[in-house]
Structure formats: structure tokens, C-alpha cells
Amino acid sequence: MKIGGIIAEYNPFHNGHMYQIECFREFYGVSHTVVAMSGNFVQRGGPAIVDKFTRAKMAIASGADLVIEIPSLYCTQTAEIFSRGGVSLLNSLGCVDLLCFGSENGDLKSIKNVAEIIIKEQAELDVLISSNIKNRDSFPVAREKAIRNILSRKNRCELDDGFFKESNTILGIEYVKELLRLNSTIEPVSIKRYGTSHNSTESFGNFCSASFIRKNIKKNDILGIMDFLPKSSQSLIGCYQDDGRKFLFDDDFFSDICIEIIRNKGRLSRFFDVGNGLENSIYKQVSSCLDFDEIVENLSSPIFTRNRIRRSLFNIFLGIEDKHIEICKQINSLPFVRVLGFNKRGTEILSRIKSKSDISVVTQIAKSLRYESKHNDMYRFLLDFDLMTSEIYYQKSFSNNRRLLKKGKIDFTTLISMM
């Protein structure tokens, strides 16, 4: 058995994701695939367009064997923190051999070089980054300049001008960095992204970005995206609203975000990534913007990127404070793994996990709350936050048919069984 791991969002699952899984099996001899996937809120800061159980079904039907949930506190954060959650989860399983990620250039050597610089030259890097930020660079730009400076002096490698502009490459760097930090035995491998770039608004053959798909769904052009989805995703997307569920977008939460900003006036800086004057700007904008996109546009600047603004606004809404992220940063081995879906090969991975690791495998939330979490504060801390954010998501998702919520909380009533 050779187990490959993937960290993903599948927002939603499309042909490019299926291509990655197929390449992983073909090129690296992987027999079983486990996916660590974000839950109902994702790394760009907002809600997933469809819920986590639906996305897990898409993945299992199209090549994944086991889908597990990255704890929510990690999911809506920077690439560094998101990667820490995903990598530490896979590493905690004790049985993953390879970690596969897509990148725009497939240049694993350069990705490793950059990751090693960040780990080994952290003190010098911090000084250079601080200096660049004082010159009014945003953090991503400040870090890029600092890394290029060190690489140049050490004659390590020449990087393309657009290397740090490629979002999958940035995540790849963070994945490798986290593997190094944990001294993990998991080997990283990279597959060159095929077709369009991460946020491209265009298609290439039967391939397009998840951003392209979400924009078309928002325009209610469901038929226009079907060629870019595997059959399982076509079916699940096509019938998603039949029982009253909604596709969710950032703007669905805009009024709620505004209320939380007003409610927390004078205390906004306690929320993660909402410091350095950003809190004042956010409060000034809250009453004059018509929608989520407008407040992001008005607040973005060379210092505060759009992605940071999005994440900051959702950190306020979800109540994610500096102290919560500091706790996450101290966790090297996660106390539990939440199962979202599996097939027959997935049961074999679960058996291997149980024989190789002491991590708690959660398939029934009620049972987990009754027993395991009572004896582990970190377990309860992470699980409680997962359940809270999930419940918020479903309040919006079922707002057109609230009768469905009478059946019980979705995390408790969804049956996790072999697909």
C-alpha cells in the first residue's frame, strides 16, 4: 500500500482536480489517496460554494479514497496557517507516504530551495521583511524581496519574475516548509497545473479554474460549467438547490459581517490579521458600502491585499482572534481526524491509520463529544469551533427552506458511510 496525500478545497471539484489525482496514481504509483479538505469556509476567506459533505462526495466519486476535514480555525487563514493545518493533519495520520500539490511551473527544486531558506534563515529573513514593510510593502511583497535577496547572495537559484505571484506555488512552498518544520517523513511531489491558472476567468479545453466555475454559478449559468466538471460533480451541482439549499457566496454574509463590525467597535484589533490601523479603516467603511466586493475594493491597498481584507472580514464575523491562531501555531500533532467520506480503499487507509497512529478518528460527532473530547482540551477547542462555523454555514445554506434544519444539526445527522 502506497498512500498519497492531497491538501485541497474542491470549491467545487472540477476536471483539474480529477486530473491531479489520476496523475498522482500514474506517475508516483500511489494506490490509495487521502484528501485533507477545508470545511464549510475556505482559505480565500469566505464560504465554500457548496457544503463540505457534498464536496467530499464529489471527490470520492472521482478518484479520492478518503476525505478528511482540516480544522476550521486553519482554513480561512494565510497560506502559512492553512498549510500548517493541512500538513499537520496528514502527518498526524502516521501512514502518508507522499504529499502531492499542483503548481504553475512544476519546479519542485525551486520550491524546496525557498522553503529551506524560510526555515533555516528565519532570523535574517524577519529583519529584511520588517525593513521592507517599513518601506510600505505588503507582507507578500516584503517577503518575496527578502527571499530573493538571500537566494541571490547564496547563489541558490534564479526564480522567474512571476514565481511568487503563483498561488499554487506559494501553497507548495508552505507545504514543504511545514514538512521540514515537522521533520516529517512525507515526501513532497509536484504536478504541473494543466490548462488555466488558479484565478483565471477563461477556460482551456475541458479545464478551467474553480473561480471561473463559481462566477458562472453566481450568474446562474449552470449549463455553462458542466463540461468542466466530472459526472459526479455535474449531478451534485445540478441538484444542489432542489431541496432548498443555496449556493453560498461572500456577499451572503455581508450584512452579518457589518453587524459584527459595529458590535465590536473599539475591539476589532483583537481579531486575527485586523491590526496596524486596518481596524479603523474597516469601521469607517462599514456604513457606506453596498456589498462585500465594494468594502474589499475600498480597503485594499499596496499594504493590505484583497485576500487579507477578505480573510480579516471573515475573522471578525467568525470570531477568530489572535489568541486562537496562537494556539493553532503551537499544535504539531492534531488530536483528531474528522472523516467526511470514504470508499472501500478508504476503509483500508482508516485501518492503517488506527495501526500507525493514536489520533482519534471521528465519524460520529455525538459519540466524540460524549467521550473523547471530554479528556482533551485541545480536541474540544478545535471541534467546538468546527461545529460552530458549520452551524453558521447551514443557517445560510438552508435559509430558503428552514424546515430542513428541524431534522437536526447537519454535522450530527449526516451519516458517514462507505460510498
Cell numbers found for residue 100: 502531492
**H-run or E-run covering 272:** none
Q: Could you please report the per-residue DSSP string of 88-146?
A: HHHHHTS---EEEEEESS--HHHHHHHHHHHHHTHHHHHHHHHHHHHTT--HHHHHHHH
Tell me if 168 is assigned to a ligand binding site. yes
Tell me if 9 is assigned to a ligand binding site. yes
Radius of gyration of the chain (CA): 21
Which residue, 90, 71, 138, 129, is CA-closest to 320?
71
300-335 burial, b at 16+ Cβ within 10 Å, e below that, comes to beebbbebbbbbbbbbbbbbbbeebbeebeebeebb
Tell me if 198 is assigned to a ligand binding site. no
Q: How many helices (H) and strands (E) does the chain have?
A: 19, 9
Which residue, 42, 148, 85, 158, is CA-closest to 336?
85
Tell me if 18 is assigned to a ligand binding site. yes
Tell me if 19 is assigned to a ligand binding site. yes
Kindly report the backbone phi and psi dihedral angles of residue 360, in degrees, each rounded to the nearest multiple of 5, phi listed first. Answer: -80, 125
SS3 41: strand
How many other CB atoms are found less than 10 A from the CB of residue 202?
10
Distance set, CA 160 to CA 157, 164, 207 (Å): 10, 8, 25
Tell me if 7 is assigned to a ligand binding site. yes
Cα–Cα distance for residue pair 411/124, rounded to 1 Å? 45
253 class by beta-carbon count within 10 Å (0-12 exposed, 13-18 middle, 19+ buried): buried
Tell me if 12 is assigned to a ligand binding site. yes
Tell me if 283 is assigned to a ligand binding site. no
Tell me if 193 is assigned to a ligand binding site. yes
Tell me if 371 is assigned to a ligand binding site. no
How many other CB atoms are found less than 10 A from the CB of residue 376?
14
Q: Which amino acids are annotated as binding site, given as ranges?
A: 7-20, 102, 168, 193
Q: Which amino acids are annotated as binding site for ATP, given as ranges?
A: 7-20, 102, 168, 193
